[in-house]
Chains A and B, each alone.
Chain A
Amino acid sequence: MMRVAVVGAGPAGVRAVEVLLEAGLRPVWIDEAAEGGGRIYQRPPAPLRRDAKALYGFEAGRATALHAALEAATARAEWRPQTLAWHIRPAARRLFTLHRGHQGVVEYDAALLCTGAMDRVIPVPGWTRPGVTTLGGAQIALKAQGCGIGRRVAFLGSGPLLWLVAYQYARAGAEVAAVLDTTPFLTKLKAAPGLLRNGPVFAKGLYYTAWLRARGVRIAEGITPLAIEGDDRSNGGGDGGGVTALRWRDAAGREDSVACDAVGLGWGLKPEAQLADLAGIPFDFDARQHNWVPRRDAAGRTPVPGHYLAGDGAGIGGAEVAELAGARAALALLADAGLPVEAARVAALDRALAAQARFRAALERAFPFPAALAAALPDAALLCRCEGLTAGELRAAARAEHAPGIAPEMNRAKAFTRVGMGRCQGRVCGAAAAEILAAELGQPVEAIGRLRGQPPVKPMPIPAVEPVA
């Protein structure tokens, strides 16, 4: 029997495995989390379990259905939870895994990578203070641990998640100090006709905003964040003190601030595509998403034979798209292997995916990535927190007087300055670093390349004993 490896048990992975099981295959199914569901449908550990409506709001129905499918599928697939796929060798068709400190190898005939997404971060002066986290991180604290990131939380950024998380926090009883959207209202308004293509999603967005306004939550749009301030006396000086306030400049140019003890921030999502990168799949710059995305066709086939992509790891589309794309990529994999697939099912999925793509385009127009904001990070502000590198130190590498020379692209900037060289390997600072370097070089961001992936995908401990050969 053909051996298929599926990496990821979020919406895309679940629907992909379902299709593969229906076809009589028994895929090896790897996920970093203990119980799957992906970031979006992450669940609390059993003792903290709450009802789906409280956890997922409007998405409760979808979440419940996905969890049911997940549980049915894990029972039938070769399910490997709490397992990190840290490297892939497409030529050898081997995945290298880490499960609770133990190394493993998975051999496969075909691989379907559904590795999801993470928050796209723009550093703001003070962004590494205790109490600052990403919007996604803030949401997971609530969903999976039943706690908030603070008592009085300000939310900053752009995109649907900003409003959703603020709403969820307010619903959960947290005090939402402010919702600060860097996108001007007018930009969103212009995209409204396209957003209406997906009525329910658009309506939910409006509902969250209206709900927050009705409860007197402070809301500002088109703002420019200035700094996250903190109580530095509590930390013996420096700027490591916990959050006390968020300061910004409003659309009219006036400075303003709000007291808070935590900040959730984020500007949309970026694919977690390191495994696709290691698999040798080429990447293209998607100007609309403003992300580098691995190359694939509409069905999820990549230029590397036997390797397929689905879900946000293949370009941001959201959970609904991920479910469709997971099923579609699994069908492509089956068809390529010469196994029977139902043409009507393929056609239905293709139609649904095409409709979603039109909506997604409008969403990207409504919440464009604020590249200029990222590029404007002050020289003294910390950019790469792993390596302690400031924005000014990166900018210096674009100038002729820089001692080893000018860094004309991202990987050379990494080599010279260490940007993106630390524990996160640029997953956090990479997007903003590229904007800063590109602006200083006077180049479009897509012209300076992207940080190349190197194994391991995430930090991996040196084993205490020799690995078993």
Chain B
Amino acid sequence: MTAQGVTARGVAARADILVLGGGGVGCSAALHLAQRGRRVLLLERGLVGGQASGVNYGGVRQQGRNPAELPIARRSREVWGRLGALTGTDAEFSVTGHLKLARSAAEEAELVAYREVAEAHGLPLRLIGRNALHRDYPWLGPAVVAGSLAPEDGSANPRLMAPALARAARAAGAEIREHCAITDFAREEGGFVLRSAAGEEFRAPLLLNVAGFWGGAVAEAFGEAVPITPLSPNMVVTEPVRYFIEPNLGVVGGNVYLRQIPRGNVILGGGVGESEPERRWARPLPEVTMQALAHAVRLVPALAGVQVIRSWSGIDGQMPDRIPVIGPSRTTPGLFHAFGFSGHGFQLGPGLGAILAELMTEGRTDVPLDAFRIDRFHPAGGPPH
């Protein structure tokens, strides 16, 4: 069932489907495609889960998403629930609830408005008023005026998710090629021909572009450039302290988010760092880190004095409308895209891989994907050729 062929120079490795990019979506797609009996060859420039999928905050969150994403998020939540059975590890997925907080009346109004959106998609949310909130979560600061709890949401360890899916995909027959940077993209008679920096050649009739920020360059190579920019989350973790923050916390506006794991570390983020995608380098900005810490202390005053032990970042792709590109190419038959998750693709990965496997093998899926069309950035006409 593995992809056949030698990959010495000049001899092509052939597969049914080439998956370009070893993030959460790519690894999940490889797994689900292999489960459907397809010969899958996944090509990853570094190690699987090395960028956005592996360095993010670890939020497994449906609440607060763009309504267009909710059907994918609902499907993905179901996959998260059986990740242990699927991959051999639950990647520390923990259903703690996601508590989104308001710090003003205007922010509270947003929480109220979102509940209707969530209801329409079957996502249960519970609004909590000021008094009940401070009674149930006495460690919240006085600036917090209301909250909205998504009991099904939680968090997981991003360092484990994509590698675990990749391992399961391998076990299901997919071939995962790490340290394999693709430099040439072409579509010839009968399918796609990709060439690596090392001169290897890979061929398949179908190609899935799940290359994160770099997915933009892949799309461009096939004549459908999109306005994508690099996004580097500014992440921080503290030393372990007494476990007291159970839910994953967010705020309206999103300028800070934080969670505590049972071993005691508090993981928090907010704002963006700096990056140089061409050398895959990203780092948090110290000024932004200090701002995020200030926001965090206003939310949970007991965090003052807790020691920060590390900060980090990675590279995701951001679209102008903050939702990804998902679906078939408009220029190239056999090419499918899923990239530009704009900082919130981690939860979507496991489920979206299954959806893409459906789409690429059956030509259809029940999940509405129209909002994510790649040509939505060129409303006047077709994409430039």
* A-to-B contact residues, CB < 8 Å: 86-87, 89, 96, 103, 403-405, 408, 412, 415-416, 421-423, 425, 454-456, 459-467
Contacts and interface: CB of A to CB of B under 8 A. Distances in A.
Bin the interface of chain B by size: 35 or more
A422 B308 CA distance: 10
> 8 closest pairs, A vs B, by CB?
A459-B307, A464-B304, A415-B159, A403-B89, A404-B163, A466-B294, A405-B163, A405-B167
B305 A462 contact: yes
Interface of B: 47-48, 54, 87-89, 91, 159-160, 163-164, 166-167, 238-240, 283-286, 289-291, 293-294, 296-297, 303-312
A347 to B, nearest CB: 38
A242 B91 CA distance: 37
Contact of B308 (A96, A404, A462): A462
17 contacts: A87-B286, A89-B285, A96-B286, A403-B164, A405-B48, A405-B164, A405-B167, A415-B160, A422-B309, A423-B307, A425-B309, A455-B284, A455-B286, A455-B311, A462-B303, A464-B305, A466-B294
Contact of B297 (A403, A408, A463): A463
B297 A464 contact: yes
B160 A461 contact: no
A258 to B, nearest CB: 35
A346 B321 CA distance: 59
Contacts of B311: 454-456
Given A103-B290, A405-B166, A460 B308 contact: yes
Contacts of B294: 463, 465-467
A455 B291 CA distance: 15
A27 to B, nearest CB: 22
B346 to A, nearest CB: 15
A421 B310 CA distance: 8
A214 B17 CA distance: 76
Contact of A456 (B47, B163, B166, B308): B308
Nearest to B312: A454
Contacts of B306: 461-462
Nearest to B238: A462
B56 to A, nearest CB: 13
Contacts of A459: 239, 307-309
Contacts of A403: 87-89, 160, 164, 167
A463 B88 contact: no
A423 B309 contact: yes
B309 A463 contact: no
B192 to A, nearest CB: 27
A463 B304 CA distance: 6
A304 B3 CA distance: 44
B310 A454 contact: yes
A421 B263 CA distance: 13
Contacts of A466: 294
A461 B48 CA distance: 33
Contacts of B303: 462
Nearest to A408: B47
A463 to B, nearest CB: 7
A467 B286 CA distance: 12
A404 B304 contact: no
Contacts of A405: 48, 163-164, 166-167
B47 A412 contact: yes
A456 B283 CA distance: 12
A467 B308 CA distance: 15
A412 to B, nearest CB: 6
A208 to B, nearest CB: 38
A464 B297 CA distance: 7
A415 B47 CA distance: 12
Nearest to B298: A466
A403 B308 CA distance: 29
Contacts of A89: 285-286
Contacts of B289: 455
**Of residues A89, A412, A425, A462, which shows the largest number of chain B Cβ atoms within 10 Å of its Cβ?**
A462
B89 A461 contact: no
A117 to B, nearest CB: 21
A416 B297 CA distance: 30
A461 B309 CA distance: 9
A467 B54 CA distance: 30
Contacts of B88: 403
